[in-house]
Chain A
């Protein structure tokens, strides 16, 4: 019944070793978002896709990249993870240009060794 699915739920990587987090959706929503949430902080928007149009937030580090090969899937790539990148990464989807709420996945908790 899950509509926004993030894999894996927990990811451990080494300092500087590239890592990819994935998100898939069954809602057929046009818009997909990636947020970073650190402990006791609010989620922070990294970037979003409107269909294939990529929109990067101004303060998102260059170390973070994203791919959306089709409507259903979106990936977050961290090219050289640092200790400060340890966080929960949340994927969310939204329908078109509406003001409807976003639907969140369960998140991936990333740890850096």
Chain B
């Protein structure tokens, strides 16, 4: 079993819709969870970090963490074409990454 798994995608949503990205992890002792956005040919860029159960909102982005079920998700509201990128879920200090979900927002 992979340590961090993401819905494989690719995922396409129309502009203005909500994009939902999901991630599960195997290490029940994990403490820190991150979502990175990566444009093609660029390095990962942190968009959200979450450490406690529940929701964390930052602008159009909401991260949700459920440690009992070992999943973390990212919701992007009012999706824009500029949100088109690969989204990487990462767990713990040394960043075990999921394989990423490629999101395309269609104008």
Q: Is A41 an interface residue (CB 8 A)?
A: yes
Q: Is the CB of A107 within 8 A of B43?
A: yes
Q: Which of B49, B93, B97 contacts A42 (CB 8 A)?
A: B97
Q: Is A25 an interface residue (CB 8 A)?
A: no
Q: How far is the CA of A94 from the CA of B93 in the complex (A)?
A: 8
Q: Is the CB of A101 within 8 A of B49?
A: yes
Q: How many residues of A contact B (CB 8 A)?
A: 23
* Shortest CB distance B59–A (Å): 17
Q: Is A74 an interface residue (CB 8 A)?
A: no
Interface size of B as a range: 20 to 34
Q: Is the CB of A99 within 8 A of B95?
A: no
Q: Is the CB of A107 within 8 A of B42?
A: yes
Q: How far is the CA of A36 from the CA of B102 in the complex (A)?
A: 19
Residues from chain B with a CB closer than 8 A to the CB of A45 are 94-96
Residues from chain B with a CB closer than 8 A to the CB of A105 are 43
Q: How far is the CA of A103 from the CA of B36 in the complex (A)?
A: 11
Q: Is B25 an interface residue (CB 8 A)?
A: no
Residues from chain B with a CB closer than 8 A to the CB of A41 are 99
Q: Is A102 an interface residue (CB 8 A)?
A: yes
A55-74 interface (Cβ within 8 A of B): none
B44-95 interface (Cβ within 8 A of A): 44-46, 49, 51, 88, 92-95
A99-B100 contact in complex given A45-B95, A105-B43, A107-B42, C-beta closer than 8 Å? no
8 tightest CB-CB pairs across the interface, nearest first?
A: A42-B97, A99-B32, A104-B43, A107-B43, A101-B46, A42-B99, A101-B49, A106-B43
Some 18 contacts from A to B, beta carbons below 8 A apart, are A33-B94, A33-B95, A41-B99, A42-B97, A43-B44, A45-B94, A45-B95, A88-B41, A88-B43, A90-B44, A99-B92, A101-B34, A102-B46, A102-B95, A103-B46, A104-B45, A106-B43, A107-B43
